[in-house]
């Protein structure tokens, strides 16, 4: 194991006077306006030392002159950024999951970016296959070294990359097998796609496409909410569930196994096909359940039925702060429509995965939706992301998933 430094040997970023406060408070981002000078001619993606205006070293991080987030800290100390550093961070992340996640769950997140002290790196595990996403130029430049470490630490059968395009980071989309071979599955024969894997979550079996599915193949951050839906279904006789933005049917599957009758609304026909196959995989007849291939907004506007539980798990309507007003309006509209379909005494589980929409704003949006729907609403509970998606207390931007469980009261 090498002890040589990954950092640029001469480069350093010097902050403006008084702009070190956020780093002293352990926030991992430094924006362009806080930097006074860059010395040593580092290249985009290099790891550089960071100093305050007096010359005191505050830490080290990735440097990218093309991003508004000019520096992303790896450490708030003077420790060297070596292979040992990355090995320790990866092992620490793995130990957290091993301690708290059930061995019966075969799909989980192993590394969650800043939440695990590795900005720009996402690692998800699907059985014996790892799927990596590189979200920063710095991590992208270390791709081959990260793959070597993943092979050594986790001994996977294959490592797949599913990195999105990030214009602000200068990163182009990249997808494919980085190392190894994806294990054979029965579906690979019939589909011609070698990326299909079967995973298990709380006893529910699902097909996951690690080469072409959404995100890294599955929305792992909704694991706890899927289990909550299963418990609610088990406690309600003949529950009628409406699952909006259902993708491959995760919430529907968990509820159907507890006897619920489910309606899954999803605009993607291929995703609906996978959902039906997932029902068959769990010995559930898809014929007894509804799969509506439609735009969710349009379908809700035309629906006159009532449901005991409606699940809203839409895509991020606010991907950038400049989209906040438009996205907030979309969240209000979709929740207003959904609340109109909940039976009195029924429930709405509604989610936002937009990091720019905090808890307070989301609650205000739901208040507006409830007023427009003219429904009396109780807040039953609130839930964040699961433990394999941790965020730093000093980096609130890492808390992106927010879920409200609401009840439509039977009295006004």
pLDDT (tens digit per residue) in 246-303: 999 999 999 999 999 999 999 999 999 999 999 999 999 998 899 999 999 999 999 9
Q: What is the pLDDT of residue 193?
A: 72
Alpha helices in 282-323 (DSSP H): 296-302
Q: What is the pLDDT of residue 107?
A: 97
Residue 12 corresponds to which tokens in the numbers above? 């350093």
CA distance 187 to 271: 15
Q: What is the pLDDT of residue 230?
A: 97
Sign of CA dihedral 393, 395, 401, 407: positive
Q: Which residues, in sequence order, are bridge partners of residue 160?
A: 131, 177
* Confidence bin at 321 (pLDDT 50/70/90): confident
Q: What is the pLDDT of residue 283?
A: 96
Q: Indicate if the pLDDT at residue 350 is higher than 90.
A: yes
By the 8 A CB rule, do 205 and 284 touch?
A: no
CA distance 320 to 324: 7
By the 8 A CB rule, do 236 and 123 touch?
A: no
Residues 174-203, buried b or exposed e (16+ Cβ, 10 A)?
Answer: beebbbbebeebebeeebeebbbbbbebee
**Mean pLDDT calculated for residue range 333-346:** 97
CA distance 129 to 185: 13
Catalytic residue among 244, 303, 351, 353: 353
By the 8 A CB rule, do 129 and 183 touch?
A: yes
User: 319 by DSSP, 3-state: which?
Assistant: coil
Q: What is the pLDDT of residue 190?
A: 60
User: 82 by DSSP, 3-state: which?
Assistant: coil
Q: What is the pLDDT of residue 192?
A: 62
CA distance 353 to 315: 7
Mean pLDDT of the chain: 95
* Confidence bin at 353 (pLDDT 50/70/90): very high
Q: What is the pLDDT of residue 288?
A: 87
Question: By CB neighbour count within 10 A (0-12 exposed, 13-18 middle, 19+ buried), where does 394 fall?
Answer: middle
Cα dist from 396 to 27, 255, 270, 357, whole Å: 9, 32, 36, 11
Q: Indicate if the pLDDT at residue 133 is higher than 90.
A: yes
* Confidence bin at 322 (pLDDT 50/70/90): confident
Element (H, E) at 125: strand 121-126
> What would the pLDDT profile of 101-125 be if each residue is shown by its tens digit?
988 899 999 999 999 999 999 999 9
pTM for this prediction: 0.94
Q: What is the pLDDT of residue 168?
A: 85
E-strand spans in 260-393? 261-266, 290-293, 307-312, 342-352, 377-383
Sign of CA dihedral 319, 321, 323, 324: positive
Is 303 known to be catalytic?
Answer: no
By the 8 A CB rule, do 132 and 123 touch?
A: yes
User: 171 by DSSP, 3-state: which?
Assistant: strand
> What would the pLDDT profile of 36-57 be if each residue is shown by its tens digit?
999 999 999 999 999 999 999 9
By the 8 A CB rule, do 256 and 231 touch?
A: no
Q: Indicate if the pLDDT at residue 2 is higher than 60.
A: no
CA distance 52 to 12: 10
Among the ranges given (186-190, 195-199, 204-208, 210-214), the one the predictor scored with the smallest mean pLDDT: 186-190
DSSP 8-state symbol, 45: T
Cβ count within 10 A of residue 305: 9
User: 388 by DSSP, 3-state: which?
Assistant: coil
By the 8 A CB rule, do 1 and 84 touch?
A: yes
């Amino acid at each position: 194991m090498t002890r040589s430094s990954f950092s640029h040997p001469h480069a350093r970023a010097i902050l403006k006077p008084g702009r070190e406060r956020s780093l002293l408070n352990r926030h991992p981002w430094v924006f362009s306006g806080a930097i006074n000078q860059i010395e040593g001619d580092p290249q985009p993606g290099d790891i550089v030392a960071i100093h305050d205006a007096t010359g005191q070293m505050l830490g080290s991080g990735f440097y990218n002159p093309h991003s508004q987030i000019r520096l992303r800290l790896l450490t708030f100390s003077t420790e060297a950024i070596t292979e040992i550093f990355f090995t320790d961070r990866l092992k620490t992340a793995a130990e957290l999951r091993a301690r708290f996640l059930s061995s019966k769950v075969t799909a989980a997140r192993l590394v969650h970016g800043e939440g695990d002290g590795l900005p720009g790196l996402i690692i998800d595990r699907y059985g014996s296959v790892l799927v990596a996403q590189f979200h920063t130029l710095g991590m992208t430049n270390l791709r081959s070294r990260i793959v070597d470490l993943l092979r050594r630490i986790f001994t996977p059968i294959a490592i797949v990359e599913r990195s999105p395009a990030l214009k602000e980071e200068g990163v182009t989309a990249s997808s494919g097998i980085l190392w190894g071979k994806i294990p054979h599955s029965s579906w690979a024969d019939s589909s011609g796609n070698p990326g299909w894997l079967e995973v298990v979550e709380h006893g529910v079996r699902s097909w996951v496409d690690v080469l072409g599915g959404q995100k890294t193949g599955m929305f792992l951050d909704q694991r706890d909410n899927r289990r909550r839906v299963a418990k609610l279904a088990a406690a309600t006789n003949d529950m009628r569930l409406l699952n909006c933005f259902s993708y491959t049917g995760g919430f529907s599957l968990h509820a159907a196994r507890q006897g619920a009758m489910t309606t899954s609304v999803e605009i993607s026909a291929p995703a609906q096909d996978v959902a039906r196959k997932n029902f068959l995989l769990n010995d559930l007849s898809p014929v007894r359940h509804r799969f509506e291939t439609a735009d969710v907004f349009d379908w809700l506007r035309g629906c006159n039925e009532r449901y005991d539980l409606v699940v809203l798990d839409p895509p991020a309507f606010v991907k950038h702060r400049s989209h906040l007003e438009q996205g907030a309006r979309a969240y209000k509209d979709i929740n207003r429509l959904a609340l109109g379909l909940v039976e009195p005494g029924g429930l709405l589980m509604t989610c936002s995965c937009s990091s720019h929409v905090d808890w307070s704003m989301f609650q205000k949006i739901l208040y507006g939706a409830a007023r427009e729907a003219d429904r009396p609403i109780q807040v039953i509970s609130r839930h964040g992301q699961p433990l394999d998606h941790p965020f730093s207390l000093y980096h609130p931007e890492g808390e992106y998933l927010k879920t409200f469980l609401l009840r439509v009261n039977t009295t006004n």
